[in-house]
Amino acid sequence: MRVPLLDLSEQYRTLAEPIRAAIDAVLTSQRFILGSQVEALEKAIHVYCGAPHAVGVSSGTDALLTILMALGIGQSDAVITTAYSFFATAGCIARVGAKPLFVDIDPTTFNIRPSAIQEYIEKNCRTDSSGELKTTSGEKIRAIVPVHLFGLCCDMDAIHQISEQYQLDVIEDAAQAIGAEYPFGERTAKAGTMGEAGFFSFYPSKNLGAAGDAGMIICRDDQLARELRIFREHGMESRYYHRVIGGNFRLDEIQAAILAVKLPHLESWSAARRAAADFYRAEFVRAGLEKKITLPAEPYRDRGLRNHHIYHQYVVRTAKRDALREHLAKREIETAIYYPLGLHEQKCFAYLGYKKGDFPETERAARETLALPIYPEISRAAQRQVVGAIAEFFE
């Protein structure tokens, strides 16, 4: 039996009729850009997340780009982020003219390590006479971008202590983590709601996926929300009048309509992914494999949270990753590597001056991690086949 990494066909079969009806309603209306469907989805997302504002945009990448532009981050600025993430996180920082400052990850969660942020600031930064935090080369540090990787929230309490100490904005890259929860201070907070702004990607393979590119920004501040809406539409405040230079970052009506059909199912899909993760863990333990491969960490499992992890990916690690992947491929089990290089090793960032060995945990994760098949509808038979093939490899 072939086991795909992700299979969206069952989801579509279940929702095909309402999705087609939603698309047809948009076609009938002939309103395709920033209409009632986008407004309805924005309202639904801000209610779901518990955030005052939601702003629909064209992709997760454009969401981060819009946030950086609205906050005025650009030339002579710097932004701290993880060395282990999808390219867009650092790419957007560079695109606005700011300098990405990479730090290493926690080897257990693969998320940015707060103590690495603190260490970087203490070793490489200074506070000038005006109280601004600057790098030794003179860039003003403006923000921290933590990435909630694979559906697990970063240690946001520790990150906020650092951001408050140095007066830095926090922009949450929650592209893979819509609905994930974190025990933030005295409350349970959803991913994206713990910083100045947060954002989601609705790329088709995400837990909440569109039929193409789409994204959403959430924030608390009224003025920031207003600026985000201006920047997403070429910087227009009123039609054909441009106070600032923005971009074409608008969410399509058709994508909004599709996402509105899917959103009510997100909680049950997250629960199904978590159940599949629990089944994997039980099967790996039963097969005696928990000491041969490292299973995903669940640091908030016992903190009373429903969505302590939403398993956008189920990522294990082993020093024999490449051989294991080849073994699984021969048995028609699809896997993926997220990510084969640390961002500091990407050729386009060579100008930043990093070298191999600068971020050892990032580099080790890039060598050892492997994403196994997971999606809400995955069968237990398919999961047993995956575990059986891995057990066979280690025999």
String of DSSP letters for 256-318: HHHHHHHGGGHHHHHHHHHHHHHHHHHHHHHTT-TTTSBPPP-TTTTTT-TTS---SSEEEE-
Non-local (6+) Cβ contacts of 261 within 8 A are: 15, 18, 19, 22
Angle at 183 between CA 214 and CA 206, to 5 degrees: 20
Q: How far is 368 from 294, CA to CA, in rounded Å? A: 10
| CA pair distance 6, 206, nearest whole angstrom | 10
- 174-223: per-residue pLDDT in tens? 999 999 999 998 899 999 999 999 999 999 999 999 999 999 999 999 99
Task: Please list the ranges in the chain whose pLDDT falls under 50.
Answer: none
As a whole number of Å, the end-to-end CA separation of the chain is: 21
Give me the residue label for tokens 């280690």. 394
Task: Report the distance separating Cα 102 and Cα 80, nearest Å.
Answer: 6
Asked if 15 and 346 touch (Cβ cutoff 8 Å), the reply is: no
d(CA 329, CA 373): 12
pLDDT of residue 57: 98
Task: Confirm whether pTM is higher than 0.85.
Answer: yes
Q: Are 143 and 71 in contact (CB under 8 A)?
A: yes
Q: Which residues pair with 371 in a beta bridge?
A: 315, 336
Residue 348's contacts (CB-CB under 8 Å, 6 or more residues apart) are 94
Q: What is the pLDDT of residue 130?
A: 86
Both tokens of residue 385? 């086949």
Q: What pLDDT is stored for residue 279 in this prediction?
A: 98
Answer for the pair 313, 273: CB distance below 8 angstroms, yes or no: no
Closest CA relative to residue 158, chosen from 178, 185, 135: 185
Per-residue confidence (pLDDT) for residue 129, from 0 to 100:
83
Euclidean distance between CA atoms 284 and 352, whole angstroms = 41
Instruction: Give pLDDT, residue 128.
Output: 87
Evaluate the CA torsion angle 313, 316, 322, 328 in order and state its sign.
Answer: negative
C-alpha count within 13 angstroms, C-beta hemisphere, residue 14: 11
pLDDT digits (tens, 9 = 90+) for 291-343: 999 999 999 999 999 999 999 999 999 999 999 999 999 999 999 999 999 99
Among 374, 381, 389, residue whose Cα is nearest residue 327: 389
